[in-house]
Amino acid sequence: MSKKVRLGIIGLGQQGGAYAKFITDGLVPNMEIAAICDTDPAKKELAAATYPDVPFHDDYIALLDSGDVDAVVTCVPHYLHPEMGIAALQRNVHALVEKPAGVYTKQVKELNEFAASKPELSFAIMFNQRNNPLYRKIKEIVDNGEIGAIRRTNWIITTWWRPQGYYNSSAWRATWGGEGGGVLVNQAPHQLDLWQWICGVPKSVYAKVAYGFRRDIAVEDEVTAMVDYGDGATGVFVTATHDLTGTDRFEILGDQGKIVVEGSKTATVTRLNKPERELSDGMGMDDVRKLFMGQLKPEEYYTTETIEFESVWGGQHAGVLENFAANILDGTPLLAPGSDGINGVRLANAIHLSSWTGTEVGLDFDEDVFLAELNKRIAAEGQFPERS
């Protein structure tokens, strides 16, 4: 194989077009565009004008069988990611799937199982936020035990404002049969992944979800979910698409410290000198009086650090592409293994199922029950085939 991975881009929409530009601009030095596929005739004209030397296909199987590509990235509607990932791996083509890995765990599990049977191939997912140096540092702090055992997490991520025109732009958008959901499957998969990547997979979830609350759509545009990690630790996740000014605030409280992230740009890390319970048990009435009078000296109990990184837009995505190519070329470990994609899909499914049933749902929920509920909603729309 050459020193550059020959990439096929399936879907020349917003994401596929961005990846193509990153590569042609030299942001991914170990990768080149070897083929493009799209079913839209207008994209064929665009590709011919922009990438005249790159072969174009209107059938992704033809691209996979062409022999022109070593790997593909799937920039297509969510339901198609597992299908295309499997088709690529079947033909010994490395696969980078877009987020989310799919719409429901049953189809993602099939993709993961097939990928596991092809360990010689690279299988990754575009979780570009894992390449954000701020979140990588936060994960390192948590994994190292610097804030102790996690006791509570909170993430409010409402910076996804979308006007009605956005939802009206395509017949498949914001539908159960075409897109598979709303904010949980379109805008928030990155946070659902990071939340679990950093804080661990919860045991269960109870959710209140609003469908078509502030937009004329069938799927969810507001979500409030509480998760249970076990041992008394809990977490809350809030997201919406109707908050014009939006908030992005992520808190992780441990028994020996705390991390507060604002805007996915700045983190304030507090490290206690001792576990919180020890500090509490060691305080007498004199200390309590000082506490009430504001006379306690913070430096005697904790230190505070502010962490901030400059993260240029596009750099994270280009970095994932470069890492994927490096994994193919020399075995560099993947930033986001494709098999991790099921975690966010499972949590999104559990949130939906909890809201549909009005019950707390374990993360080991029955996949067939979820799929039956999803198919009820697809059938009610009457626009798309039910899923299996």
Domain ranges of the chain: 5-127+314-339, 130-310+344-381
DSSP label of 338: G
Structure confidence at residue 368 (pLDDT):
97
Assess contact for 59 and 3: CB atoms under 8 A: no
Assess contact for 368 and 375: CB atoms under 8 A: no
Q: Which whole-number Å values give the CA distances from 38 to 35, 66, 78, 135, 167, in the listed order?
A: 10, 15, 15, 34, 22
DSSP label of 365: -
Stated as kind and residue range, the H or E segment containing 32 is strand 31-37
pTM for the model stands at: 0.95
For residue 384, the number of C-alpha atoms closer than 13 Å in the C-beta half-sphere is 20
Domain 5-127+314-339 class, CATH top level: alpha beta
Say if residue 169 is exposed, middle or buried (CB neighbours under 10 Å; 0-12, 13-18, 19+).
Answer: exposed
Q: What is the CATH number of domain 130-310+344-381?
A: 3.30.360.10
pLDDT digits (tens, 9 = 90+) for 55-108: 999 999 999 999 999 999 999 999 999 999 999 999 999 999 999 999 999 999
A 10 A CB-CB count for 257 gives 23
Low-confidence ranges of the chain (pLDDT < 50): 1
Structure confidence at residue 312 (pLDDT):
66
Q: In whole angstroms, give the CA distance from residue 159 to residue 60.
A: 34
Structure confidence at residue 1 (pLDDT):
47
Q: In whole angstroms, give the CA distance from residue 135 to residue 35.
A: 33
Structure confidence at residue 8 (pLDDT):
98
Structure confidence at residue 170 (pLDDT):
86
